[in-house]
Amino acid sequence: MGGETAGAPKIMRLRYAGQCQRCGAAISAGTVAAYYRESKSVICQSCESPTLEVNLPLAPVPAGTPGASARREFQRRSDARDSRIRTNHPVVGGLLLAVTDDPQSTKAWAVGARGEERLGALLNAVADDNTHVLHDRRIPGTRANIDHIVVSSAGVFVIDAKKYQGTPTRRVDGGLFSPRRERLFVESRDQTKLVEGVQKQVLRVAQALDAGGIVDVPIRGVLCFVDATWPLFSGAFSISGVEVLWPKKAIDLLRRPGTVADETATLAHRAIARAFPMA
């Protein structure tokens, strides 16, 4: 065994997979290990030194593309309609497609994608070494995704972008003789389900941070209406712990000074990126 560790090792991120010469464990490509040039052997970190300090630059975390999955779903549905009409009407299919439009259920995906893209561009503009942005992250085990996640000194922000027309308002029902309930309306439409959706996303992010051993980092849910009409003398509001606001207000919120250390924010960012892959 002595020959395998002759000379000082080079601590590096392996370009190719290998096997630890001491314990026999497989070491995958990209893993940090000790490389002995003379013997061309590798030793895993556990065998080389349990307290080995590795000061290598961390691989960058891809932010993702805002609205990518919504855009793909719109295209998939539109292409399927195109193919169906041309198959069922081989002679006049092209004409039918020229004079008709995609159904509203299909166009809604394109509208949603545009909303995510607009907000995503604003978030990218404020991203820096201390403000980490993730877009369009898949929630494993579900068909859902999280539009945007931002980690800064102010905490973790789970942001759902909506491109709805109308004025968002908060209504409170109940009181003395019945349970008090807050509801979200956009004009006359009850959209409380949107708040409940953000609450579920916040819970999943909190679970991911707990699993990564990251505690005492505040997490806030945000419902951002990118095209709504807001009253002149009233603004954003909170409903059931979820902030309801517009893009500029969202930027102001996440840029507020906070108590989360830069190192903790970086760890939280990476833990969330691992738990929620790009959609």
Helices (H) and strands (E) in the chain, counts: 7, 14
Token readout for 14 is: 């392996």
Which helix (H) or strand (E) segment holds residue 114: the answer is helix 104-126
CB-based contacts of 217: which residues, under 8 Å, 6+ apart?
Answer: 155, 156, 209, 260, 264, 265, 268
Mean pLDDT, the chain, rounded, equals: 88
CATH of domain 120-275: 3.40.1350
User: CA 163, 209, 123, 171: dihedral to nearest 10 degrees?
Assistant: 40
Residue 96 has pLDDT above 80, yes or no: yes
Q: What are phi and psi of 168, to 5 degrees?
A: -75, 135
Residue 23 binned pLDDT confidence (cut-offs 50, 70, 90): confident
pTM beyond cutoff 0.85: no
Is pLDDT of 236 > 50? yes
**pLDDT on residue 58:** 63
57 phi, psi to nearest 5 deg: -65, 135
Q: Give the count of alpha carbons within 13 A of 200, CB side only.
A: 11
Helices 262-275 and 192-211: crossing angle in degrees, nearest 10, is: 110
